[in-house]
Chain A
Amino acid sequence: MATDFEFRKQVLDMHMSGVIKYCYQCNRCTDYCPVAEVTDNAYNPRQNILNALLGFKDAIFSAEKIAIWGCTVCDTCDEVCPQNIELTEIFKLLKNHSVASGDAPDFYYLQAKTIFENAKAVPSQPAIERRREQLGLPAVAAPDINELTTLLKNMGIDKKLKGE
C-alpha cells in the first residue's frame, strides 16, 4: 500500500485545524453509522478515515463504489466522533474525486445535469403549476437559469457532467 502524498495533502487541507490526525480508530463512527449496520460494514467510515489519513488513494478508489458512496450523509459520525473530526467533510472530498474520475453512481451526474440545465434539482412542470394554483399558491419565482449555467460553466462543472 503506497502513500500518495499529493492526495494526503488535500485530505489534511480539508481540516485547517488538522484534527483528522487525532483519529485513534476507536470505531465509534462505524458503530453508529446506519449504513455500516445494514451492509455488514461493506460501507465503513472508520476505514475511509484511516485510508484518507494515510494517503492510501488506490485503496480508496479501487474498491467497490459503495465503499465511498454508501454514505447516507446523516452526519451522525460527525457528532459521535470523540475527536471532533468532521468525517463528512473528508468524505465529500473523496466523493468529489470519484465524480471527477467519472466513477460516481449515475444519480449524482443526473442531478448535477438537471441543476445545470434548469437551476433546480426538480424542474417546474405544468401539472404541478396547476396544482399550485388549485391550492391557492403563488407561482414559484423563476430562477435565472442563464446566470446559473454561466456560473457553473465558468467553474468547469459542465466538463464533469455525463450522458445526454
Chain B
Amino acid sequence: MAEFKMFEGCMIGNRIPFIEASCRKVFDKLGIATSQAPFSCCPDPTGFANFDNDGWLAVGARNLALAESEGKDIISLCNGCSNTLKLVNHTLKHDSFKKDKINAELAKIGKEYKGTIDVKHFVSVLKGELEKIKSSTVKPLSGLKVACHPGCHYMRPSEVMETDDPMHPIDLKEIVTACGATVVDYGEEVLCCGSSVSNAYEDHGMAILKKKMDAVKKAGADCLVVNCPACFQQFDGKQRDLSKKFEEEFKIPILYISELIALGMGIPADELGTKFHRTRVSDILEKIG
C-alpha cells in the first residue's frame, strides 16, 4: 500500500491525542504507512463552511494542494475532516467556475489546487484489511457486545463520501465482527450524535444524545464504538451531564474503533491512554482480560 499523508485533524491532534495513538499502532500492525504534513484546520464542515463557503473551500483546497505536492492520498482519522476534504475535492472537480475562483486566491499564496489526489477515511481503508485484522487479533473479543455509531459524515452525503450505505451502514460492523466481538443492533445506528447543534443549542443536542444513549442502553451493549472525534466527545464527554440532566445512569464506555482493534491485537491499554477517557472503560478492559 502506498504511503498516505496523515490528517489527524485539530480535535484529535490537539485535544484527544490518545485516539491518534491507537490509530498509529493499528496502522503499524497492518502495514499502513503514513507521513505528516503541515495541514491547517480542514476546516469544520458544520462550522466554518456555514460561516463562509468560499473561505472554507479555499482552506480545504490549500490542504489538498499540500498533499498533491507530494503526490500522496490523505488518510483522515475524523468524519469532519474527511467530509470537508472530500466535499471540497468534489466541488472543485465538478465546478470549474469555483475552481478558477479558488485557485486565483491560492495563487496569491503560491499554491495551486489540481484535483489529483484522493481522500480516505481510515475506516474505509481498514474495511479493505478485514482479513489482516482477523489474523492479527490475538485476544478475540468474543462475548463483547458492541453498538456501532459510524456517524453522519462517514457516509453522508453518499454521492460524495462514496463509502457505505447512507442509511444502513455496515463498514464499522464488519470491522467489529472481524475483531471477534458481537455487534448489537439498537435501532438508532444512523441517528446523529447531536454535536453540531449543541454548539448553539445545547439542550437540543442533549435531547438527541438522550435518544441515542437510551437505545444503546436498552439494547444491552457493553460499549459504543465510534470513528469520529466530535461524536466521541459528545458521547464520552457529555455522558455525565446527560445523567445529571435526566437523573439516569448510562455508564456506557465509548471506544474509538482503533482502540477496539488495538485491544484485540493485545496492545496494552496503558499504551493507548484509555485512562484519558471521561467515561470509564475499566469494565470493558476487565471483560477482555
A binds B: yes
Q: Is B13 at the interface (CB under 8 A from chain A)?
A: yes
Q: Which of B15, B36, B208 contacts A34 (CB 8 A)?
A: B208
Which residues of B in the span 39-74 have a Cβ within 8 Å of any Cβ on A? Answer: 39-41, 43-55, 58-59, 62
A interface residues, how many (CB within 8 angstroms): 65
State which of A18-26, A48-56, A88-96 sits at the interface with chain B: A88-96
Residues of B within 8 A of A43 (CB): 204
Chain B residues with CB below 8 A from A150, complex form: 108-109
Q: Hey, which chain A residues are within 8 Å of B20, CB to CB? A: 132, 135, 137
Which A positions have Cβ atoms within 8 angstroms of B? 16, 34-35, 38-39, 43, 65-66, 69-76, 78-80, 86, 88, 91-93, 95-96, 99, 104-109, 111-112, 115, 119-125, 128, 131-132, 134-138, 140-144, 147-148, 150-152, 154-155, 157, 160
Smallest beta-carbon distance B25→chain A, Å: 9
Would B201 and A70 count as touching, CB distance under 8 A? Answer: yes
Beta-carbon contacts under 8 Å, B1-37 to A: 8, 10-11, 13-15, 17-18, 20-21, 24, 36-37
Beyond A111-B44, A151-B58, is A140–B8 a contact (Cβ under 8 Å)?
yes
Number of A-B contacts defined by CB within 8 Å = 193
List the A side residues contacting B59 at CB < 8 Å: 115, 148, 151-152
8 example contacts (A-B, Cβ-Cβ < 8 A) are as follows: A70-B197, A95-B51, A96-B51, A115-B40, A120-B10, A128-B17, A135-B17, A155-B58
